[in-house]
Amino acid sequence: MEQEGLNVSQVSAKTLEEDWRVVNDSSFTRTLYIITIALESLKYKEIADFIHARLDRYTRNMTFGEHIDNNDIEKLLQDIETCKLLINRTDEYKIRETTNSTKSRVEYILGLSVD
C-alpha cells in the first residue's frame, strides 16, 4: 500500500479517486472496496479515519438494494466486524487522522453517480 512515498491514508483516498466509477457502481461494490482497503491497511498497522468511520457506519446501517446473495452479504458483514475488532482490540493499529479537506473529498467521490 505504501507507494510513491504516500502513507496509508493517502493511498486509500487515491484508490477511491482513481476507481470511483467502479466503486460507485453499487452500494455492495462500494462496501467491498472500503473493506478491502481496510484489510490492506491493517497490514501496515494503520487505517485512515475516513475508512474506519465507514466501517462503523456500515455495521450499523447496511442494506443492499441490489440482488446480492445473502451469503455474500453475511460474509462481508463478518469481515467488517473482524476488521473493527482487530482495530479496536489492540494498540498496534493506529487510526490515522486526515484533514477535513481529505474527508470532504472522499465523501464527494463516494457520492458521485455512475451514468
Q: How many CB atoms lie within 10 A of CB 28?
A: 18
Give me the pLDDT at residue 107, please: 93
- Residue 4 cell numbers, joined: 510513491
On the question of pLDDT at 10 being above 90, the answer is yes
On the question of pLDDT at 1 being above 60, the answer is no
Choice between 46 and 89, residue whose per-residue pLDDT is larger: 46
Choice between 67 and 98, residue whose per-residue pLDDT is larger: 98
Give me the pLDDT at residue 9, please: 92
**Confidence tier at 8 by pLDDT (50, 70, 90):** very high
- Residue 38 cell numbers, joined: 481496510
Query: Is there a contact between 6 and 14 (Cβ–Cβ < 8 Å)?
Result: yes
Give me the pLDDT at residue 66, please: 64
Helix, strand, coil content of the chain in percent (nearest 5): 65, 5, 30
- Residue-wise pLDDT for 29-49, tens only, equals 888 899 889 989 988 889 999
* Helix 8-18 with 100-111: angle, nearest 10 deg: 30
